[in-house]
Amino acid sequence: MSKTTGIPTHLGFPAPLLGQQNERLPILYKDEQLLAINKPAGILMTGNAWYRYNPNLEDAVAHQLNEEKGELLRLGLSKGQSVTPVYSIDPGISGVALFAIGDDAGANYRNLYGSGVFTLRFHFLAKGEPDSDEIVCDLPLAKHFDQPELVVSHKTGKVSKTVFRKLQSIGRYNLWEAETSYYRVEQLPVHAMEVGLQILGERKYAKQYPPKLSRIKRGYRGDTENEQPIYNHPAMHLVEVCLKREEKDDLRIAAPMGKRLSNLVRLLKKHSSGRGRF
């Protein structure tokens, strides 16, 4: 995104559109039909009944378009134009948030998403030592009949597949990659648990609490009573989305980790010989 052409590199969202603070989110990719934003954790791509209190990007962009904000207009968008998510991910997952521009593109890319031409690649930190450094989990997943959660069900579950690859050991934790062609909200933490991986900071399924420095650093002397977590979300990041295209090169959209999650990885590496009690 070149500054000299007036094309914005970020999109601004004043509070309370995406929470209590103003947000300025990096634009990862833009063409006539697609817009990709580096989404922070804690924000949905679109509304979800399981997460009624989480703000979502689809509504925030629609609001900004209705207000005819200059950044969106300079991207070539217009008031009333639909900007809809191609897929959905958990609010706790940061990374590539891909949107289709216009009704026709929205319908087209949602159909493409279900046809296996997309690959979503996640990085995450987890406890657990499975027998292999590469694991395939293809357990079918269904929504619980009365709870806001996913369950494994061979009777009513939908086809789901996640390929896990161990990337690096960091003290008592490991950095893993997870890859899927079709992501269902909360698929990653559920499949991770099924193969013996407990994602750091993922409370709902893994019962893992966000890490604090006192739990990592040997000889920590700070105020443990009022200490805040290093990263107050599950340590999961959608690092890349790839779209296979017949007449063009494959489209790859990558998203660097945000500062707080990157800092967590850095601190784990720095103090990997510490207590690691969290």
Residue 170 maps to a domain: yes
Instruction: Please tell me the total count of domains within the chain.
Output: 2
* Cα(224)–Cα(36) distance, integer angstroms: 39
Q: Which of 113, 135, 165 is the last residue of a domain?
A: 113
Q: Are residues 99 and 174 in the same domain?
A: no
Decide if 35 is inside a domain: yes
CA dist 259 → 40, 82, 136, 262 (Å):
10, 31, 30, 5
Q: Is 21 part of a structural domain of the chain? A: yes
Question: Residue 241, SS3?
Answer: strand
d(CA 125, CA 229): 15
CA–CA gap between residue 125 and residue 173 (Å, rounded): 6
Q: Which of 113, 138, 169 is the last residue of a domain?
A: 113
Domain carrying residue 54: 9-113
pLDDT 10s digit of each residue in the chain, 278 long?
444 457 899 999 999 999 999 999 999 999 999 999 999 999 999 999 999 999 999 999 999 999 999 999 999 999 999 999 999 999 999 999 999 999 999 999 999 999 999 999 999 999 998 999 999 999 999 999 999 999 999 999 999 999 999 999 998 899 999 999 999 999 999 999 999 999 999 999 999 989 899 888 888 888 888 899 999 999 999 999 999 988 889 999 999 999 999 999 999 999 876 444 44
Within a domain: 182: yes
Which of 63, 84, 113 terminates a domain? The answer is: 113
One domain for residues 124 and 255: yes
**175 and 224 part of one domain:** yes
